[in-house]
Amino acid sequence: MLDLGTGSTESVDYPDFGYAVAAAIADGRAERGLVICGTGIGISIAANRHPAVRAAVCTDPVAAKLARQHNDANVLALGARLIGEVMAEETLKAFLATAFEGGRHAHRVDKLSRPPVVSMSE
């Protein structure tokens, strides 16, 4: 286990920690990550700035399972102000226990790591 956390309850700049987890995923020090901020949204945005990361904010085990199965999410983002401790633990367990289904989802997930192709039609 690689702990990139604050080690404190003091206020911090959450993007720094989202970027640290993203770097650990990108360079192979971690296969999956867990990030936490007040809502899970800000830190997921920070982590998702790296093309190797697919962070998903999940509020329950079903969402975590689907994020893994369909999106191959490799970072779970939790909102400390929005989810209780027991639900957070169950959500993390589901995230860690679920594999990516591949199949019809694989080509979509591959697109997430590439720049979008945007066409402007008239």
Name the active-site residue from 37, 50, 58, 105: 37
The CA distance from 36 to 91, in Å, is 13
Quick one: 75 exposed, middle or buried, by C-beta within 10 A (0-12, 13-18, 19+)? buried
- How many other CB atoms are found less than 10 A from the CB of residue 54? 21
Is-contact 34 92, C-beta < 8 A?
Answer: yes
Is 58 a catalytic site residue? no
Helices marked H in the chain — which ranges?
14-26, 41-48, 61-71, 85-97, 106-112
Is 70 a catalytic site residue? yes
Name the active-site residue from 50, 58, 70, 105: 70
Which residues does the annotation mark as catalytic? 37, 70
